[in-house]
Structure 1
Amino acid sequence: MLEKLRPYINLLKNNHNYRRLWLSQVVSNFGDWFGILAVYALITKYSDSEFLLGLIIVVKMMSLASFSPFAGYITDRFNRRHLMMFCDILRGMIVLGLLLVVSYQTLWLAYVLTALQMMLSAIFEPAKTSSIPNVTTEQELVDANVLSAASWSIIFTMGMGIGGLATEWLGTDLVFILDAISYGVSTWFIYRAVIPQKEMDPEELERTKNPLTGIREGFQYLFNQPHILRPTLAKGCFTMFLGALTYMLILVSEDVLMMGSIGLGLLYSARGIGTGVGPVIGRRIFENESSWIWGMGLCMIFAGVNYALVGLSSSLGLMLFFVFVAHAASGANWVMSTVLLQRRTPDTFRGRIFSTEWLLFTLAQSASVIIASTLLEQKLFTIQELIIFFAIMLAITGVIWNFTVTQKERVYQRELAADGG
């Protein structure tokens, strides 16, 4: 077991700059998951409206999506290390602002502050992901992304659970203060890291000083580079159906398992663990990067099949296993597409490409959840029937992907081999 972990231990031990960037991610992500349940608790404390509770989720997703194009432009034009520090400091101040929500009349402030927090996250995330290739070697890049994905899943699993207990025992105010402190610690780690970055040349800086020009050039570059566009689409295609399936786990726990928050916690833990283990397994199965695009389609098929089995099952044990396997495939897809984008995209476009990927992911996930909730509201499907339907559609998407996108990738790989690349 120790030998399998050795590459990741050596990476953290020997690469000081990646270690500091990784630690900033660990601390700030834990703070995010730790504090999110406190926001939900704040809304339910001053309102019993299910609509207002659902609205905070919509605000989070739409704020990320709407600001992503501009965020990508910023992360390519300015120093990413400074931007990440700036975002962390402001996010800490925003979280402290939630202490001002003390009644139903001030509840609107939670939505405004959450929107601002997500806009800053829309800058921080592509800046962080774009910086990983700049603090790692070619050989370290895959290990670095696997470690980041595994860390996210562990933090997701622990942060939600600990955050729920902390909200209950300590109260929302103290949770928000601890969340703000986590952003301060994250800022310190980034401050201590050296993060190289290739800057735009003076001509490009002048040409793109209008943000709309810079954003348009980013989109044009992406659509003119099919070998970059292919991995950019992977997460969006996956979550187009997986987003609804993950959302429906809430209803499975309530209506099928009759276990409420306990069942949901177990199902989401299986999801988090699968997301973390998947990239490690995927790296061993898909050793050759030239097969990764095909592997992404295979992961979609595999996740779809396993979620269909979730829909057919009524046993908690079986559901936990199938959710674990489905999200292991999702985690493998996530890391493969991220690494390909990092390798294939020039540094001066990387922020805009990753923000576009995040935009597609967020829009696909939002649409997926809205469609699923509408179908259930209209009682056109039972929860298990709808899970099976979305699962089959995810598997079909994987089949279509491998008959279309993968074929174009194989042509690209043959041309690359012929050119000696």
Structure 2
Amino acid sequence: MLDKIRPYIDLVSNNQNYRRLWLSQIISNFGDWFGILAVYALITKYSDSEFLLGLIIVVKMMSLASFSPFAGYITDRFNRRHLMIICDLLRGMIVLGLLLVVSYETLWLAYVLTALQMMLSAIFEPAKTSSIPNVTTEKELVDANVLSAASWSIIFTISMGIGGLATAGLGTDLVFIINAISYVLSAWFIYRAVIPQKKMDVAERKRTRNPLTGIKEGFQYLFRTHKVLRPTLAKGCFTMFLGALTYMLILVSEDVLMMGSVGLGLLYSARGVGTGIGPVIGRRIFNQESDWVRAMGFCMIFAGLMYSVVGLTTSLSIMLLFVFIAHAASGANWVMSTVLLQRRTPDTFRGRIFSTEWLLFTLAQSASVIMASWILENEWLTIQQAMVVFALGLSAAGMIWHFTITQQEEVYQINREDNEHFAAANRIEAE
């Protein structure tokens, strides 16, 4: 057992800069997930509308999406370490603003502050993900991403469980204060880290001084570089249906299990554990990076089938098991697509590529949640029926991925191998 986790222990022990970036992630993620149930509780306290509950998720996603292109430009042009520190401190101040939401009349403030928080996250997340290859070696990169995903899931599990209990026992105000403190601590660890970054050359900085030009060049690079475009689409295709499914877990806990925040904490904990274990399992099953794009399609099909079982049962234990398995597939998909993007994208474009990935992810998730909440608001389907429909849609998306994206990747891999063999033959002949 120790041999299996030794690479991760060595990475954290020996790589000081990654360790500080990783600790920053753990602390800020704890605050994020610890506080999210308090936001949900705030909305349900002053409104009983399923649509308004779904709307806060949509506001989060659309704020990320609308600001992502500009955020990517910023993270490629400016110092990412400085940007992450500023974003953390500002997010801490914004979270404290949620203390002002005290009635239905002030509920609008929760949506405005959440939008501002997510706009800052639109800068922070691609800056952080783009920085991981710069503080790790080629050999450490996969371990670093697996560890980040596993840490996210463990913190997600712990903080959602504790957050549900804290929201019910301590009240939302104290939860928001703890969330704000977590951002300050996160900023402190990033401040202590050294994060190298390849800067744009003088000509490129001059050419892209207009943000619209820089954003345009990022999109042009993505759409003409198909080996980068394919993994960029993975998270968006997955969450096109998974976003609605995770949203419906909130309603399943309320209306099917009748367990409120406690049930939601358990379901989201199962989600978190699965997300953490999935990349480790996926790495062992698909140990060749050349197979990862194909594996993404399989993960979609598998996760959809697992969630269809969740929609067909009323048993908490069965739900927990199959939510865990579904999100293991989701976690594997997440890490595989992230690593491929980090390897295949130059540093000076990496921020724009990851922000575009966030744009696609958030647009897909927003559309998914809007559609599910509207269906349920109008009572066209029950919660469980809607869950089965979206689950089967996810499996269908995986089948389409297999017959399109996977086929294109296989052609790329064949051509790449042929070019490597040709280059090796030329070197031998030259010698």
1:50/1:244 CA distance change after superposition, 3 Å: closer
Aligned-partner residue type, residue 415 of structure 1: N
Q: Compared with structure 1, are the counterparts of its residues 321 and 53 closer, same or farther at alpha carbon in structure 2 (3 Å cutoff)?
A: closer
252 and 30 in structure 1: CA distance in 2 versus 1, 3 angstrom threshold: same
| Aligned position for 1:336 | 336
* CA 1:50–1:413: 2 relative to 1, 3 Å: closer
My pick for the range that moved more, 289-298 or 177-186, is 177-186
String of CA shifts for 1:251-301, please: whole Å, max 9, x gaps.
333343344433322222111110110000001001000000000011111
In structure 2, what is the equivalent of residue 111 of structure 1? 111
Instruction: After superposing the two structures, state which structure 1 stretch, 116-125 or 100-109, moved more.
Output: 100-109
Give the equivalent residue in structure 2 for 1:38.
Answer: 38
* Residues 13 and 19, structure 2, Cα contact 8 Å, conserved in 1: yes
1:138 CA drift (Å): 0.7
When structure 1 is superposed on structure 2, of 243-252 and 217-226 the one drifting more is 243-252
Alignment-derived partner of residue 184 in structure 1: 184
| Residue 35 (structure 1) shift | 1.8
For residue 181 of structure 1, what is the amino acid of its counterpart? Answer: I
CA distance in 1, matches of 2:95, 2:143: 32
2:380 matched to which residue of 1? 380
| Residue 165 of structure 1: aligned partner | 165
* SS, match of residue 419 in structure 1: helix
Q: Distance in 2 between matches of 1:211 and 1:298?
A: 38
Mapped to 1, the partners of 2:358 and 2:401 lie a distance apart of 19
Secondary structure, counterpart of 1:129 in structure 2: helix
Q: Does structure 1 conserve the Cα–Cα contact (< 8 Å) formed by 2:233 and 2:357?
A: yes
Instruction: Name the residue aligned to 2:208.
Output: 208
Q: Distance in 2 between matches of 1:369 and 1:187?
A: 32
The one-letter amino acid of 2:264's match is L
Residue pairs, 1:89-238, within 5 angstroms = 89-238=89-238
**Partner of residue 357, structure 2:** 357
Give me the whole-angstrom Cα distance separating, in 1, the residues matched to 2:287 and 2:48: 51
2:429 alignment partner in structure 1: none
Partners of 1:34 and 1:96 in 2: CA distance:
14
Query: What is the CA-CA distance between 1:44 and the residue it aligns to?
Result: 4.4
Equivalent in the alignment of 2:293: 293
Corresponding residue for residue 305 of structure 2? 305
Range that drifts further, 40-49 or 180-189 = 40-49
TM-score by length of 2: 0.93
- Count matched residues: 421
Q: Counterpart of 2:100 in structure 1: which amino acid?
A: L
Shift of 1:34: 1.6
Q: For 1:58 and 1:392, locate their aligned partners in 2 and report how far apart those are by CA, in whole Å.
A: 22
Deviations 1:324-364 (A, max 9, x none): 11110000000000000000000000001001101111111
Q: Deviations over 1:389-415 (max 9, x none)?
A: 222221121111111111111111111
Partner of 1:366: 366
Q: Residue 325 of structure 1 corresponds to which residue in structure 2? A: 325
Q: What is the TM-score when the length of structure 1 is the normalising length?
A: 0.95
Q: SS of the counterpart of 2:139? A: coil
Distance 1:111 1:374 in 2: 19
CA RMSD of aligned residues (A): 1.8
Judged with a 3 Å threshold, the aligned counterparts in structure 2 of structure 1 residues 71 and 137 are, in CA distance, closer, same or farther, namely: same
Question: Where do residues 263-302 of structure 1 align in structure 2 (5 Å cutoff)?
Answer: 263-302=263-302
Call closer, same or farther: CA 1:315–1:397 in 2, change over 3 Å: same
**3-state DSSP of counterpart to 2:420:** coil
Partner of 1:19: 19
Distance 1:253 1:410, change over 3 A: same
Deviates more, 1:157-166 or 1:324-333: 157-166
Q: Structure 2: how far apart are the matches of 1:161 and 1:121?
A: 23
2:57 matched residue in structure 1: 57
Mark the CA change 1:259 to 1:43 in structure 2 (over 3 Å): closer, same or farther.
closer
Match of 2:4 in 1: 4
Give yes or no for contact 2:235–2:357 (8 Å, CA) kept in 1. Answer: yes
What SS class does the counterpart of residue 209 from structure 1 fall into?
coil
Q: Is the 8 A contact 2:46 2:107 kept in 1?
A: yes
Greater shift after overlay, 389-398 or 20-29? 389-398
The residue that corresponds to 2:426 in the other structure is: none
Instruction: Give the aligned residue type for 2:381.
Output: F
- From the superposition, tell whether residues 313 and 103 of structure 1 become closer, same or farther in structure 2 (CA, over 3 Å): closer
Change (3 A) 1:83 1:181: same
SS for the counterpart of 2:70 is helix
CA distance in 1 between counterparts of 2:79 and 2:14 reads: 25
CA distance change for structure 1 residues 101 and 312 in 2, over 3 Å: closer, same or farther?
A: closer
Give the Cα–Cα distance (whole angstroms) in 1 for the partners of residues 154 and 120 of structure 2.
23
Q: Hey, what's the Cα distance between the residues in 1 that align with 2:112 and 2:257?
A: 36
Cα offset for 1:177? 2.3
For residue 103 of structure 1, report the CA deviation from its aligned partner. Answer: 4.6
Q: Which moved more, 1:67-76 or 1:399-408?
A: 399-408
